[in-house]
Structure 1
Amino acid sequence: MLDTFTTRLTALSRFLPTLALGLAGGALAFWLDVPLPWLLGAMFATTLASLAGAQLRSPGRGRKGVLVVIGVMLGAAFTPEMSGDLSLWGASLSTMLLATAMMMAFSVWFSRRVAGHSLDTALYAGVPGGVSAVTGMALSSDADLRVVGMTHAVRILVLLVAIPPVLDGIGHVSLTAATPAPDRWLWLPGPADAAWLASAGVLGAWLGHLVRLPNAMLFGPALASAALHLTGVTHAAVPPTLLALAQVIIGVSVGVRFTGTSLARVGHTLVMAVLQALGLLAIAILAAWGIHAGAGVSLPAALLAYMPGGAPELSLVALSLGIDPAFVTVHHLLRITVLILLMPVLLGACRRLSA
């Protein structure tokens, strides 16, 4: 036990410089009044440092803890008052699945015909979501894991960078979040609410793994917290400091994925990944606009719900901007679940067609 504690303490100490860089980037972005400052500031700082050759450390287990916290935060968005909006969710979820099928078809075609990747690589790199589960599944295939990982990392980076200008372009939402008063930065829920939320995080993560939920550390606590909030057991709000720290950790998690990346060696992969991500973003925008025009679904919420991948990142953006986090979370959970269940079937069908 002592060895385990020492190992974790050593890993934490090695991560602290990376965390400090992320906090500095977030603080600078906050001072410059950048949209989503703590997330984008930390992401830009660590991405640039990684591409410059800095050997940054991943949050490791710390990211899992942050996912639990984000899940509990997302669950707070599920309230009894939201029942009136559920009539629109069926049409939106169906549209999202249709858009996901179009994204999958486009990304596989692009990866095969334009980027020149193998079938296995094209399939696993093209899945619009569930990067952790997809990467794990790709280990037992003939896919190029470097291309798969790089494509998913670049896609998340492109989506997060695109969110502020796209939302600003479509209107309907203010990107200028109100700055909490100094005393609000130190606010925490009361002991009873804190106990309920902690229980939701611990039990939700355990149950998520037990029932094999995709991204169990995020969606398990989210569902447990949602149950508490829907039943009125607690109405605890999100502490601003905790939300800012979660954004920094997630931003750092994206940036450190580029550690050890040589632009000269993987330039082609990076360019192809960016172009593919832009194509998928265009499909998401069209689908979101369609469901907004046809059924009156909130355009910003539909856009975040339909974006291909990055469930923790996109749900956190929805939470940070107050864009219907419950709606966005449910859509990403359904998408990832369907994709993981259908991946073996899709892989087998594509192999038979190409034989």
Structure 2
Amino acid sequence: MSTTRTSLRTAQKPAPQVHEFRFPRPAPAWRWALIAVGGYAAGLGASAVGVPAPFLLSSLVLGAVLALTGRVRGRLPGPLNRSSQALVGALMGSYLTASALVAAAPVALPLTAVTAATVALSVAVAWFLARRGSISKPSAVLGMVPGGSAAIVSCADELKADVRLVAFMQYLRVGLVATTAPLAAHWMMSSPGRSGGQASHGGPAHSGFLHLVAGSDQLTGLLVLVGVCAAGVLAGRRLRLPTPALIGPMLLALVVTLSGVLPGFAPAGILQNAVFVLVGLDVGVRFTRDTLVRVRQLLPSILVGMAAVCVGCAGLAWIFAKATGTPVVDAYLATTPGGINAVLAAAVSGHADVALISTVQSLRLLLVVLVTPLIIRRLAVSRA
């Protein structure tokens, strides 16, 4: 009996715990701050060796490496992502001055035609992918249409598409364009015999560690920038605009810029570079190993389709440039099927006509968001 009690006490006695020494993991906010600092440092190094759009490209590569190696899981934190979008929107709106819009007026009809042709080309390639039977028509169309990555992904579930596949296709295209557009623009700008596009359209360049906005009055400019971003996001949500964190501040910045009352609020210097770092990280961290494994069988056909869309858009840019006398680099960046954020970073870094590029990209974004649901429903009816 005593032997049984002794064995019970021995069995109930908890095993000794071995405490392993582990370095404390930093909080997610600090981790992302360290990653952003690393992206900025990589951008400085890339800038020193002459890489085009250095802060965008270096942070995009850094984010992709961290995601593919499993060092980072999940997307950029929501507040940080929305803040970067709002700052990009304010920067876009600040370039749309009255003189820039007047200068773009004579080519409004060709711009509209090129925008419609870009959307039609994307839908045609998506239809071809769907015909092969590997991708449904809604997923193919939503994944292939350019410009509205965040807005398109958000409505994919409502339109009965594969949300993960749509998101992967959208951000794969954005990543490809963000990687190739600065290099292509740099080649076009440096090639002999090119026409125009060399001067910066964003006003005088400013340097200095504490120079965060384009104007001379830094405090006033920063206050105006914060107000434009905050009020623009709220207005975009109230008006139910596509990607309200981007379009809302852009429209409000456009109004402020055209009024001429509060100039000099556009992000500049290290603030502008930091925004481009966040844009690059946001694209790069989406390419995880799990995502690539899920779509590995579809990847070859998707890449071929995206290459066809990019080449077709480059052809449309060449036609537009020849017909209107627009510099080829400006036409290329205006029509390339990438995200607005990435294209704007390439345009600013390459001193292209940002006003023209912002106008065309914004027009296409609105057209894509408005027309794509109608195209999806039409395809569903034709299939039935």
Question: Scaled by the length of structure 2, what TM-score is found?
Answer: 0.81
**Residue of structure 2 equivalent to 1:51:** 68
Deviation at 1:309, TM superposition (A): 3.6
What SS does the corresponding residue of 1:268 show, helix, strand or coil? coil
Deviation at 1:114, TM superposition (A): 4.7
**CA–CA distance in 1 between the matches of 2:71 and 2:259?**
48
Counterparts in 2 of 1:258 and 1:181: CA distance versus 1, 3 Å: same
Question: Which deviates more from structure 2 when the two are superposed, residues 14-23 or residues 331-340?
Answer: 14-23
| Counterpart residue type for residue 363 of structure 2 | L
Q: Which moved more, 1:96-105 or 1:208-217?
A: 96-105
Deviates more, 1:323-332 or 1:11-20: 11-20
Residues 200-244 of structure 1 show CA distances to partners (whole Å, capped at 9, x for unaligned) of 222222222222222221121122122222222133154210111
**Which stretch of the first structure deviates more once superposed, 17-26 or 120-129?**
17-26
Report how far residue 182 of structure 1 moved: 10
In the alignment, is the contact (CA less than 8 A) between 1:208 and 1:219 conserved in 2?
yes
The within-5 A match list for 1:14-25 is: 14-25=31-42
Counterpart in 2 of 1:321? 350
Amino acid paired to 1:43:
L
| Structure 2 equivalent of residue 251 of structure 1 | 280
Which residue does the alignment assign to 1:211?
A: 239
Residue 43 of structure 1 deviates from its aligned partner by 0.5
SS of 1:138's equivalent?
Answer: coil
User: Which residues of structure 2 form unaligned runs of 5+?
Assistant: 1-25
Return the match for 1:106 from 124, 144, 147: 124
Alignment-mate amino acid for residue 154 of structure 1: L
How far apart are the structure 1 equivalents of 2:379 and 2:47?
47
**Whole-Å separation in 2 of the counterparts to 1:132 and 1:183:** 33
1:20–1:274 CA distance, 2 compared to 1 (3 A): farther
Q: Which residue of 1 aligns with 2:303?
A: 274
Please tell me whether residue 227 in structure 1 is matched to residue 251 in structure 2: no
- Deviation string for 1:223-269 (max 9, x for gaps)? 21222222221331542101110111000001110134365553233
**In the aligned structure 2, how far is the partner of 1:234 from the partner of 1:182?**
18
Between stretches 203-212 and 240-249, larger displacement belongs to 203-212
Given the superposition, is the C-alpha separation of residues 22 and 214 from structure 1 closer, same or farther in structure 2, using an over 3 Å criterion?
same
Structure 1 residues 184, 52: closer, same or farther in 2, change over 3 A?
Answer: same
- The SS at the match of 1:267 is coil
Which residue does the alignment assign to 1:63?
Answer: 81
Q: What's the counterpart of residue 27 of structure 1?
A: 44
Deviates more, 1:238-247 or 1:324-333: 324-333
CA contact (8 A) 1:158 1:277 kept: no
* 1:225 aligned partner, one-letter code: A
Question: Please, what is the CA RMSD of the aligned residues?
Answer: 2.7
**Structure 1 stretch displaced more, 256-265 or 135-144:** 256-265
Moved more, 285-294 or 122-131: 122-131
Which has the larger Rg?
2
Q: CA 1:72–1:289 in 2, change beyond 3 Å: closer, same or farther?
A: same
Closer/same/farther in 2, CA of residues 103 and 96 from structure 1, 3 Å limit: same
The answer as to 2:222 corresponding to 1:194 is: yes
Q: Of 333, 356, 365, which aligns to 1:336? A: 365
Structure 2 equivalent of residue 13 of structure 1: 30
Higher share in helix:
1
Q: 1:175 touches 1:321 (CA, 8 Å); kept in 2?
A: no
Change beyond 3 A, Cα 1:337–1:292: same
* 1:36 matched to 2:53: yes
Amino acid at match of 2:360: H
